[in-house]
Amino acid sequence: MAEQAQVTSVEAIESFRGSLLVFLSKVRPVLEEVSDEVMRLQFWLQNDQRRYWEVELRKRGLKLEEAKQELFNAALSQLQQATALQHMAVQRAQREVGEAREKLTTLKKWERGLEDRTAPMVKQVEEFQGFLTVDMGKAVTQLIQIIKALDAYAKVGKPRPEGAAQ
């Protein structure tokens, strides 16, 4: 007969299985949070920030038109001092409109860049989530089967005391 296996600690496998379950329960929410955070950032850029700067550009455009109108009215009234102030107001409004346009342009670049940079990482996170869900789920099931098999083997393989009936 072959030598008897020396199964000394089924508890170690049970402990490992328990630790694996704890790990899985902690890592899944973290990975979900990472994916959610990327989606929130994309939404913020594509919706909140874009809408804010589009509205801001319209407001600043209206302000520029008002400043130009005031400059035109001041020029008609032949007030030299008022005309200089109106020129400064128009220039300031033009700078503000330019700044808003620049912000929108930068925002559009960020949107494209964010997608390009995050897509590979998000894919890796999703693959890791799949691995944890599918493969580690199978591993936990396999560990349960191993524990049952070792318990059954340990019960069958126990030496009987001498003099016990066979």
Contact by Cβ (8 Å): 125, 31: yes
Q: What is the pLDDT of residue 115?
A: 84
Single-letter code of the amino acid located at 89: A
Terminal alpha carbon distance of the chain: 17
CB distance 139 to 20 below 8 Å: yes
pLDDT score for 81? 64
The mean pLDDT value for 106-122 works out to 88
pLDDT exceeds cutoff 50 at 14? yes
Measure the CA–CA gap between 32 and 165, rounded to whole angstroms: 60
pTM over 0.85? The answer is no
Tell me what pLDDT residue 87 has: 86
pLDDT band at 6 (very low <50, low <70, confident <90, very high): low
Q: Are the C-beta atoms of residues 54 and 127 closer than 8 Å to each other?
A: no
**What is the Cα–Cα distance from 92 to 51, expressed in whole angstroms?**
23
Confidence label for 1 from pLDDT (cuts 50, 70 and 90):
very low
Whole-number percent of the chain with pLDDT over 90: 47
What integer pLDDT is reported at residue 165 of this predicted model? 54
Q: Can you read off the two tokens belonging to residue 80?
A: 């030299």
pLDDT digits (tens, 9 = 90+) for 40-95: 988 998 889 999 999 999 999 999 999 999 888 877 777 666 778 888 989 999 99
